[in-house]
Structure 1
């Protein structure tokens, strides 16, 4: 009499191992795609974090007026410095490196603009503001290029 229950168990275990291997390969492929392409949850999370920082920047930029004191410019400079370092420290997917560089430039110029204004050097602050604006234009061009390439909905 042949023991078929042992053969059956080996077949079941073999099938489970094969299914596990394919599932593992699929999971690894998904993770690698998420780390190497500009599609998926990592890219979306990166863009969301960058847009949140940019919105904070815009709020600060439009909050100052003729009555803003040098001390308030120091506070704005500190906010901009924090945004700059947050952008540098944000984990970046390879395809987002150019956009990350433009964003970091933008926040650096913003930081230096407020820093100059806090030292009552408004001529230098205006130069940094011009550089900030040019950096913003470069950032927007790169974002538009990537949106077209990856079919992003930026609304």
Structure 2
């Protein structure tokens, strides 16, 4: 079985567990006044579980590829060291660093740094365009989360207050 089918099989198992939790454990704790609502807090998880189960079943059963096509795997796991792994591993490390620096460095600084360094790792070389775009996107997201949704995100590093 190809690598994409193995990954789809793992996602299918996770989706089945998620769907079980969404259908059978989330709705029992609802207060009586919410049980009459047409949309419950578990509605989106139920839809997400069903869609991910259907999608992973399509991949596991091989329905997304025509039957006449010769099935050659996209990634040969036996030649894994022949691939350029640095960008993928660097991005994973950058994500871990972003998660660890989010509180001490603040949302604005850590997100601009993450977007900028991530784009440079992926091959962007026009840093003079990249930094203002990353700063603008970070500012818009921070405003939407803080101002519109009312969820507090520490914008500045801890030492600045």
Same fold (TM over 0.5): no
TM-score, scaled relative to structure 2: 0.28
TM-score, scaled relative to structure 1: 0.29
State the structure with more CA Rg.
1
- Which structure is higher in helix share? 1
